[in-house]
Amino acid sequence: METVDERIKRAAGLLRESSYAVALTGAGASTESGIPDFRSPDSGLWTRVNPEVFTIQGFKADPAQFYNLGLEFFQLIAAAQPNDTHIVLGELQRRGLVKAIITQNVDGLHQKGGASRVLEIHGTLSSASCVFCRTRVSIAEVVGAVASGILPPLCPECGEPVKPDVILFGEAMPPAYQEALAEARQADCIMVIGSSMQVSPANMIPHFSENLVIINREPTFYDSQARVVIHDSTARVMRRILDELDRPG
């Protein structure tokens, strides 16, 4: 049976040999920054919060409940710092080895980690927009309002509720998703990092490459189709891939 070291070497080799590699990251890329994922049976967000609250229908029906239950998550994201997954991907992008980072995450940690081309296919939690007039405000303003008891936070222009600029269940995908599909079609290697690949339509992206590298703690639907599969900490594996790329000869 192939060792983890051997798999890391093969992953680094595929990355080195590719002419257009892209990365697709999910919640598992940020768990080591203190942000819980959604589906882990012991610690996932859905074990503590009803997912229906975080649908567009749930938001429209009761935006105050949405913010009351989401405040802790928003504060965690605001305080989070990038881990080695984000930092290494930023470095690989600077070296030209990863052309684009497609992320299902809304935490902005790839940008904090030094990445420049990041396609946020589920939106961003860095800002919020009025549901009526589309006036945009910073997430810091929103969190401050909620923490002071204003539920829901309201638009400073028209007084209607503001919604974080994330894609809730039931909403259409943003333009970044079409850009991500274009990147995936062009890619000759796709690295899936920290994603269970259970969420549609993001889970269609790996379909476009025969050279798949899967790095995730748990098995994914694409494991049987991947060239390299590593079930381990994404931060540890990414750091070791970078070390392998830096190895002489």
The model's pLDDT over 58-92, given as tens digits with 9 standing for 90+, comes to 999 999 999 988 888 888 888 999 999 999 999 99
Contact 77, 107 (CB under 8 A): yes
CA distance from start to end of the chain: 25
Q: What are phi and psi of 145, to 5 degrees?
A: -65, -45
Residue 48 confidence (pLDDT) above 70: no
Residue 17 confidence (pLDDT) above 70: yes
pLDDT score recorded for residue 70:
84
pLDDT score recorded for residue 96:
97
Which residues, in sequence order, are bridge partners of residue 228? 213
Is 122 among the catalytic positions? yes
CB within 8 A of 120, min separation 6: which ones? Answer: 103, 105, 106, 174, 176
Residue 201, both tokens: 């339509």
d(CA 165, CA 173): 12
pTM check: above 0.95: no
For the stretch 157-181, pLDDT in tens is 999 999 999 999 899 999 999 999 9
**Stretch 146-151: mean pLDDT:** 91
pLDDT score recorded for residue 47:
55
Q: Which among 86, 110, 122, 231 is annotated as catalytic?
A: 122
228 by DSSP, 3-state: which? Answer: strand
Distance (Å) of CA 96 to CA 15, 18, 91, 190, 210:
10, 11, 9, 14, 21
Question: For 58, what's the count of Cα atoms within 13 Å in the CB-facing half-sphere?
Answer: 17
For the stretch 177-209, pLDDT in tens is 999 999 999 999 999 999 999 989 999 999 999
pLDDT score recorded for residue 40:
52
pLDDT score recorded for residue 228:
98
Hey, what domains does the chain have and what are their CATH numbers?
A: 1-35+82-122+174-249 (3.40.50.1220), 40-79+123-166 (3.30.1600.10)
pLDDT score recorded for residue 164:
95
Residue 101 confidence (pLDDT) above 90: yes
d(CA 219, CA 202): 17
